[in-house]
Amino acid sequence: MRDLYHNIKVTQHLNPVVSTATKTSTAIDLQGFNSANVLFSIGLSGDTLSGSILWTLKLQHSDDDSTYTDVVLAELNNTAATVVINSSSLDETVYGFGYQGNKRYLKGVATPTGTHSNGTPIGIIALRDTAAYAPVI
């Protein structure tokens, strides 16, 4: 099948939740897939975001689902290895990381800096694609 529905696997790895602390997704297993897009869905922040109150988004990867390291820019289809959300013009957005690395497992990590009193809604979704076998449903 050549349609999008049968060629990607969509899974939620962090249910949307208002958070004031670091949020890490469950493991995204890439076995049987050659690439992935990890999406961070960011809602309206309850805190005034600034240079000292912000969120940093990134991916980590692992061969064994035990020891994770940060994904570097060369393994992404992005212009930066991290995204910093430090103003109200940057929340209420979906941020994507296109992974091209060769590790089996991924995790999305959203880390706050500064004092977050009210929190920000965050969810993480994975789109695994370039499957070894299709259709993927």
Q: What is the pLDDT of residues 114-133, one digit of tens each?
A: 999 999 999 999 999 987 77
Distance of alpha carbon 20 from alpha carbon 29, whole angstroms: 27
One-letter identity of residue 38 = V
Q: What is the pLDDT of residues 91-110, one digit of tens each?
A: 999 999 999 999 999 999 99
Percentage of the chain with pLDDT > 90? 86
Indicate the burial class of 19 (C-beta count within 10 angstroms; 0-12, 13-18, 19 or more): middle
Q: What is the pTM of this model?
A: 0.94
One-letter identity of residue 103 = K
Q: What pLDDT sits at residue 126?
A: 98
133 or 50: which leads in pLDDT: 50
* pLDDT of residue 56 exceeding 70: yes
Distance of alpha carbon 64 from alpha carbon 62, whole angstroms: 6
Closest alpha carbon to 17 in 114, 110, 115, 88 = 110
So where are the chain's domains?
9-129
Mean pLDDT of the chain: 94
pLDDT band at 1 (very low <50, low <70, confident <90, very high): low
β pairing state of 54-62 and 69-70: antiparallel
The CATH fold assigned to 9-129 is Jelly Rolls (2.60.120)
93 contacts 42 by C-beta, under 8 angstroms: yes
Q: What pLDDT sits at residue 135?
A: 75
